[in-house]
Amino acid sequence: MKNIRIAIDGPASSGKSTVAKSIAKNLGYTYLDTGAMYRCATYLALQNGVTLTDQEAIVELLKEYPISFGHGEGHQGKEQLVFLADVDVTHPIRDNQVTNNVSVVSALPLVREALVDLQRQIAQKGGIVMDGRDIGTVVLPDAELKIFLIASAQERAQRRFKENQEKGIASDFETLKQEIAARDYKDSHREVSPLKPADDAIIFDTTGVSIEGVVNFILEKSKEIIDK
């Protein structure tokens, strides 16, 4: 069986991570959440009182506190854990403060360079599902399968709202929608690696489509390539 590389890109809350995790599990592949890596860089800057645009200082912090992934028992059963050095930051990197500042840090060229290097190293052996914004365009331009997921801002805000409710986090729907639109704008208009589909990506609109529907579609495409 071929070990292919699957790139899943798309805007915030388009369902990328849920879908990517499910595909990785189904194929026995590694799942890499690249958004978590940009969140780690942002978290390090915030925790260490480093100015969010000081790219050299943030790259130094990433060297001092290397990012790694593990598995463990989380709030919702087995989950992927994210570590900075030996500290579990799985949940802190999802805090609002990180979420609302990550677009600034992820626009820094030196931070992207450092994290893209790491992402490519992890993907070297193949058998990987990576989700992010620039996987098909920059990180793995020769990935065997590239999917670009989209969904209306309304639907994405609804998903985020429901997720928050389930986690017991209070949120305001209109604010969520505005935050999603603001992040979309920043992610698509930054100079370095803006969010956009690769020319050879399959664009899939998940508005009104169930997670299973999206997963099955991608699995079918993956198997066509694996079995070829």
Task: Give yes or no for residue 132 binding ligand DC (CB under 6 A).
Answer: yes
Alpha-carbon gap, residue 125 to 33, rounded angstroms: 17
Q: How many residues bind ligand DC (CB under 6 A)?
A: 14
C-alpha–C-alpha distance, residues 182 and 137, integer Å = 22
16 labelled ligand-binding? yes
| Nearer to ligand DC (CB atom), residue 27 or residue 190 | 190
CB closer to ligand DC out of 69 and 226: 69
> Least distance from C-beta 24 to ligand DC, angstroms?
16
Is 12 within any annotated ligand binding site? yes
State whether residue 80 is helix, strand or coil. Answer: strand
Distance of CA 172 to the CA centre of its chain: 23
Give whichever of 5 and 39 is closer to ligand DC, judged by the CB atom: 39
Verify binding: residue 179, ligand DC, rule CB under 6 A. no
- Contacts of residue 219, defined as CB under 8 A and 6 or more positions apart, other chains included, come to 23, 26, 27
Question: Residue 103 CB, nearest distance to ligand DC (Å)?
Answer: 5
Strand segments, DSSP code E, in the chain are: 5-9, 30-33, 67-74, 77-84, 87-88, 128-132, 145-150, 202-205
Among 22, 55, 106, 206, binds ligand DC (CB under 6 A): 106
Pinpoint the alpha helices (H) of 16-70.
16-27, 34-47, 55-64
Rounded to whole angstroms, the Cα distance separating 42 from 20 reads: 23
Q: What is the pattern of x (binds ligand DC, CB under 6 A) and - over residues 6-25? A: ------x-------------
Single out the residue of 18, 21, 35, 209 in contact with ligand DC (rule: CB under 6 A).
35
Q: Does 146 bind ligand DC (CB under 6 A)?
A: no
Phi, psi angle pair for 10, to nearest 5°: 155, 170
Confirm or deny that 13 is annotated as ligand binding: yes
11 is known to lie in a ligand binding site:
yes
**Cα dihedral sign for 59, 15, 197, 33?**
positive
Does residue 184 belong to the site contacting ligand DC (CB under 6 A)?
A: no
Annotated binding site for ATP: 10-18
Question: Where on the chain is the footprint of ligand DC (CB under 6 A)?
Answer: 12, 34-35, 38-39, 102-103, 106, 132-135, 183, 187
